[in-house]
Structure 1
Amino acid sequence: MTDILAWLVALQGDIQRSVADQISAFSASGDWLTLLGTMPLAVVFGMAHALTPGHNKLVLATFVLGEQLGLLKALATSMLLSATHIGSAVAIGFGANWLVSRTITQAGRAPLLETISQALLVAIAVWMIWRAIRPARAHEHPGLFAVAAGLVPCPLTLFIVVMATSMGSSEAGLIFALAMLVGVGSVLSLVGLAAHLGGARVNGIAGRFELTGRAVLGLGGAMLLLLVLTP
């Protein structure tokens, strides 16, 4: 596992340097074929990046399982989480300097957004536990969860967007971000799909009893709370 992680990290570094070189070349020449030829590599970059620790993969799986989301909702939640993760980096990268100075501190860290994200996830976890105790009919909030979990910006996307913007090639940064979204979204969608299939399997074995569903929901909320609060 350590060897695989080291390989993924090294792969990210190689792709990042290649993408940065291609964006630099596009900025100098304006050759769109050069830029578009880099996009498949950027998609692989997004996939490799999403496979490394982080990106709330376990949090996503816990929520999908706990809420027993249907297939389409599980996939939509995965993609919305990915879009928020990438989109927040694009927004900051294209934003005013004052926004950068108030959110980003070091190496892609965004303490303010991290705090907001963590607070929202804690609220969602507590809500899941509460509904396990006091069930209600309309109880799914996958959209809120996805935004909360993906609120912290992707540091690599932010790096490329800021670099492209500084070179006067903001369109290159935006296209790269879209490619990253495809890569990250594909990995997180597989996580959501696996959690959905696992939840369906558990329900099939345990039977369709309300108490079982409430127990799964409460356990999911407790696990989510533990994941968010554990350093």
Structure 2
Amino acid sequence: MFQTLVEFQRTIYLALGEQIKLLAAGGNWLAFVAFLPMGVVFGAAHALTPGHSKAVLATYLAGSDAKVSRGLLVSITLSFTHVTIAVLIAALSLPLVSIALGSVGRAPLLEHISRGLLGLIGVWMLWRALSHSHHHRHEGEAVGVMAGLIPCPLTLFAMTFAISRGVPAAGVLFAITMMVGVAVTLSCVAVLSILFRERLVQFFARQPR
């Protein structure tokens, strides 16, 4: 399953590369815009692979009293931050990208940063559970932002390639469609986590005391 997703992403990424090359050579923007829906599929498939703070999102929502609407807001916040951070890094600090990215499909520096951030979030969630602290109004959005601070490596690749070809706008447009796809997958995770929690609560409520 994982290898299939990787190959599927690779196929779309190579097609994106060809589209950007054609655009840079004076191609038609309409043709590129027609290709953009593939970005949604690309983002959704990419979010199914390990990472993207799905465990953090599911754990937070399963342990909170958030409703579906709040869960969707958290997942959208996470997706927006995750992709936007990558776009900003590529646009404002291209040398940093060359240091952060290793072989194709990997980002060693970002992976280390990712582990550190997820560790901090885990410690915070554990402290909150042990101290029985109250949920703050914008706590969910804060979790989404913190978890989304890990940049998306594939967005960095797409943005870097588009910038190197002189068509950064193409990279931004594709990143936006990718963000929609990531949000779709993470929203499904959010809804399933909340429904699981509600069913579990109902199950225990029906048990004889």
TM-score where L is the length of structure 2: 0.86
In structure 2, how many angstroms separate the alpha carbons of the residues matched to 1:155 and 1:177?
Answer: 11
Note the residue ranges of structure 1 that are not aligned, 5 or more in a row: 209-231
Matches within 5 A, 1:132-151: 132-139=129-136, 141-151=139-149
Partner of residue 36 from structure 1, selected from 33, 36, 41: 33
Q: Does the 8 A contact of 2:87 with 2:175 survive in 1?
A: yes
Q: Deviations over 1:132-178 (max 9, x none)?
A: 33323344622222122222211111111111111110110000000
| Cα distance change, pair 123–58 in 1 and its aligned pair in 2 (3 A) | closer
Q: Does the 8 A contact of 2:121 with 2:146 survive in 1?
A: no
In structure 2, how many angstroms separate the alpha carbons of the residues matched to 1:68 and 1:54?
Answer: 24
Instruction: Please tell me the residue identity of whatever aligns with 2:153.
Output: P
Matches within 5 A, 1:56-205: 56-100=53-97, 104-107=100-103, 108-109=106-107, 111=109, 117-139=114-136, 141-205=139-203
In structure 1, how many angstroms separate the alpha carbons of the residues matched to 2:43 and 2:68?
Answer: 23
The equivalent residue for 1:23 is 20
Paired residue total:
203
| Cα distance change, pair 60–18 in 1 and its aligned pair in 2 (3 A) | same
Instruction: Please tell me the residue identity of whatever aligns with 2:78.
Output: L
Instruction: Please tell me the residue identity of whatever aligns with 1:196.
Output: I
- Greater shift after overlay, 120-129 or 77-86? 120-129
In structure 2, how many angstroms separate the alpha carbons of the residues matched to 1:21 and 1:45?
Answer: 15
SS of aligned partner of 1:6: helix
- Greater shift after overlay, 139-148 or 33-42? 139-148
Instruction: Please tell me the residue identity of whatever aligns with 2:185.
Output: V
Q: Cα distance, 1:17 vs. partner?
A: 0.6
In structure 2, how many angstroms separate the alpha carbons of the residues matched to 1:91 and 1:105?
Answer: 15
Q: Cα distance, 1:123 vs. partner?
A: 3.9
Q: Does the 8 A contact of 1:117 with 1:148 survive in 2?
A: no
In structure 1, how many angstroms separate the alpha carbons of the residues matched to 2:7 and 2:135?
Answer: 45
Q: Does the 8 A contact of 1:114 with 1:151 survive in 2?
A: no
Q: Deviations over 1:30-74 (max 9, x none)?
A: 411111011111211111111122212222111111123221111
Q: Does the 8 A contact of 2:78 with 2:147 survive in 1?
A: yes
Q: Does the 8 A contact of 1:118 with 1:148 survive in 2?
A: no
Q: Does the 8 A contact of 1:110 with 1:153 survive in 2?
A: no
- Greater shift after overlay, 86-95 or 117-126? 117-126
In angstroms, what is the RMSD of aligned CA positions? 2.3
- Greater shift after overlay, 114-123 or 157-166? 114-123
The equivalent residue for 2:7 is 10
Question: Quick one: percent identity of the two aligned structures?
Answer: 41
SS of aligned partner of 1:100: helix
SS of aligned partner of 2:63: helix
In structure 2, how many angstroms separate the alpha carbons of the residues matched to 1:49 and 1:99?
Answer: 23
Q: Cα distance, 1:10 vs. partner?
A: 1.1
In structure 1, how many angstroms separate the alpha carbons of the residues matched to 2:141 and 2:102?
Answer: 29
